[in-house]
């Protein structure tokens, strides 16, 4: 970010327009609380605005890490897990896979996602709701693309198991 106040404001606005919705979706997938996800986005951008350290190579990854750390800190302070339902999660504008076509299927998948570990849920949301590559996810989750591929494979398998246990069958 530049040091001129007006340039910095314009840059921050552009970064906000580019990344805020995506950040909110990821944070929401982690905490299942609309307001807390919005607060995490705002906190991330406030910290970006105040940041004066080394140049940031990947602003999106930096914002995600800041927001995720903030969410963890809030959860630790509250010392309780979120109770809101993933059923409230807005549908993605893009439908990366055909099996998500009906609302019934989306509801079944959201219910199954609620039962999954946070990291499994995160990789599935990043891959299928946000259409991220393994490389993009690896930057955010601080691991190799190969590790992301392995996590995705395990998460998909676990999701299939949960859906099968619920009697869901994809024809």
User: What's the pLDDT tens digit per position in 6-50?
Assistant: 677 888 889 999 999 999 988 888 887 889 999 999 999 989 988
Residue 62: pLDDT band with limits 50, 70, 90: very high
Residue 63: pLDDT band with limits 50, 70, 90: very high
Residue 146: pLDDT band with limits 50, 70, 90: very high
Q: Rounded CA gap, 82 and 103, in Å? A: 24
* Residues whose CB falls within 8 Å of the CB of residue 114, separated by 6 or more in sequence, listed in order: 32, 85, 86
pLDDT given at position 53 = 82
Q: Residue 75: is its pLDDT beyond 70? A: yes
User: Any idea of the CA torsion for 101, 107, 108, 109, to the nearest 10 degrees?
Assistant: 70
Identify the structural domains of the chain with CATH numbers, from first to last. 5-78 (no CATH), 86-165 (1.10.10.10)
CB 145 within 8 A of CB 113: no
């Amino acid at each position: 970010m530049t040091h001129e106040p007006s340039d910095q404001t314009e840059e921050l606005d552009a970064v906000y327009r580019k990344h805020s919705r995506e950040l909110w979706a990821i944070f929401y997938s982690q905490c299942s609380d609309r307001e807390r996800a919005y607060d995490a986005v705002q906190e991330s951008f406030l910290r970006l605005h105040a940041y004066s350290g080394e140049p940031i190579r990947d602003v999106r990854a930096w914002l995600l890490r800041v927001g995720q750390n903030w969410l963890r800190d809030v959860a630790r302070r509250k010392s309780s897990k979120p109770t809101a339902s993933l059923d409230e999660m807005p549908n993605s504008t893009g439908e990366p896979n055909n099996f998500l076509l009906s609302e019934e299927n989306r509801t079944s998948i959201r219910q199954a996602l609620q039962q999954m570990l946070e990291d499994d849920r995160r990789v599935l949301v990043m891959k299928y709701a946000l259409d991220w590559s393994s490389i993009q996810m690896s930057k955010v989750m601080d691991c190799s693309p190969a590790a992301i591929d392995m996590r995705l494979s395990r998460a998909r398998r676990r999701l299939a198991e949960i859906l099968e246990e619920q009697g869901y069958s994809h024809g």
